[in-house]
Amino acid sequence: MSATTPESIESPLIRLEGITKVYGSGTAAVHALKGVDLKIDKGEFVAVMGPSGSGKSTCMNILGCLDTPTAGAYRFKGADVGVLSRDQRALLRRTFLGFVFQGFNLLSRTSALENVELPLIYRGIPARERHAKARDALKAVGLDGWEYHTPAELSGGQQQRVAIARAMVIEPEVLMADEPTGNLDSTRSREIMDLLCSFNRDRGVTIVMVTHDARMAGYAGRIIRFLDGLIDSEEPGRRHAL
């Protein structure tokens, strides 16, 4: 299978069926996920919550093809991710998924423009096209004119905007956001959430966001709560009524 396998019109963008994840073996085994069923449709904004050890981060890693389940089925765009090789999962990740993390993960001695260009370098995009796409991505997150500043010359909110631009420059179908406002004050957090909402609303980007903050989760259309390796509850977020 290639990352461009056609999807069924009837299929959700993402489907997990009976997903389990066990670390270790015997008496030392840790059952991080115990049979998770989850469906995410194209264009959704889903917030994932739960206490530490509840399984939410393990589930996020499986959705992002950063880890594989012990058992169960993961289907992305109708394709069975479980049959893919490591290289094919990496191709799926590079083609369809963007990632934003709490810690920004920017290269410290590299300009904002160069940080945003990184995914395009891995794709072999020519330099001129790369520069243009990276500039457009920075403009889209409100950093026009900040292209040559290094992370040390940017505020926390600006660094997270660079990280979002880097994730969005490949035009992903899904943005995986892991505590994207965890290192920011309340004002910067609202700005980042407004930005994510705009990409979801205006570009149709599906967003899956892990957060501990109920206020941030309220920006999503659906809130999923994990507990003890299972989905404990689901409820509409604030945007569900918009």
Q: What is the pLDDT of residues 8-48, one digit of tens each?
A: 456 899 999 999 999 999 999 999 999 999 999 999 999 99
Q: What is the pLDDT of residues 170-183, one digit of tens each?
A: 999 999 999 999 99
**All domains of the chain in start order, with CATH:** 14-241 (3.40.50.300)
Quote the Cα angle for 139-120-160, to 5°: 45
Rounded Cα distance, 222 and 83, in Å: 29
Residue 237, pLDDT score: 84
Residue 234, pLDDT score: 95
Q: What is the pLDDT of residues 104-158, one digit of tens each?
A: 899 999 999 999 999 999 889 999 999 999 999 999 999 999 999 999 999 999 9
Q: Is a pLDDT exceeding 50 seen at residue 240? A: no
Rounded Cα distance, 93 and 143, in Å: 26
Tell me the pTM.
0.91
The token pair that represents 200 in the structure block: 């979801």
Residue 122, pLDDT score: 87
Rounded Cα distance, 148 and 191, in Å: 22
The token pair that represents 42 in the structure block: 């194209």
Which among 91, 86, 94, 166 has a CA at the least distance from the CA of 134? 166
Rounded Cα distance, 93 and 119, in Å: 11
Q: Is a pLDDT exceeding 50 seen at residue 221? A: yes
Residue of higher predicted confidence among 50 and 239: 50
The token pair that represents 209 in the structure block: 């966001």
Percent share of the chain, pLDDT over 70: 94
Residue 4, pLDDT score: 46
Q: Is a pLDDT exceeding 90 seen at residue 3? A: no
Task: With residue 241 as reference, give the H or E element that holds it.
Answer: none
| Residues listed for the chain | 242
Residue 238, pLDDT score: 72
Task: With residue 239 as reference, give the H or E element that holds it.
Answer: none
**Span 193-209, average pLDDT:** 97
Q: Is a pLDDT exceeding 90 seen at residue 7? A: no
Q: What is the pLDDT of residues 32-91, one digit of tens each?
A: 999 999 999 999 999 999 999 999 999 999 999 999 999 999 999 999 999 999 999 999
